[in-house]
Amino acid sequence: MTAGTKIRSVELKEVSCFYSLEKSTFISTFDGHHYPVDFSLERLEQLLDPDAFFRINRQYVINFSAISRIHVLSQSRIKIEINPPATEPLLVSTAKTHAFRLWLDR
């Protein structure tokens, strides 16, 4: 990934989540840094280890290790808190709730 005019390597174990914002994709690290990424979330889903990362909705792919709390709002709605905290509530999409529950129980 590039950070300004520099290229920085980030190990996957440092990544809390990947997210999209205004048609760009970013990494959020456990130490609170954010870096742009050249891949779309769709492409990252194909590249990442599905045991470690899960796409919870259109905007976020989260690292299992980043989950700090899970709130079951209803049968089909789950809210997740991660470290470091996201700037917005992280809701698992209704379509992915069942797959997310299976991912947690693996």
Residues 92-102 pLDDT 10s: 999 999 999 99
Residues 28-39 pLDDT 10s: 999 999 999 999
| Distance, CA of 104 to CA of 31 (rounded, Å) | 24
For residue 8, the model assigns a pLDDT of 75
CATH code, domain carrying 65: 2.40.50.1020
Beta strands 2-3; 34-37: pairing state: unpaired
- What is the domain extent for residue 16? 2-104
Two structure tokens written together for 72: 């079951």
For residue 27, the model assigns a pLDDT of 96
Map tokens 């590249």 to a residue.
Answer: 47
Domain count, the chain: 1
Question: What would the mean pLDDT of 79-87 be, rounded to a whole number?
Answer: 96
Q: What pLDDT band is residue 17 in, cutting at 50, 70 and 90?
A: very high
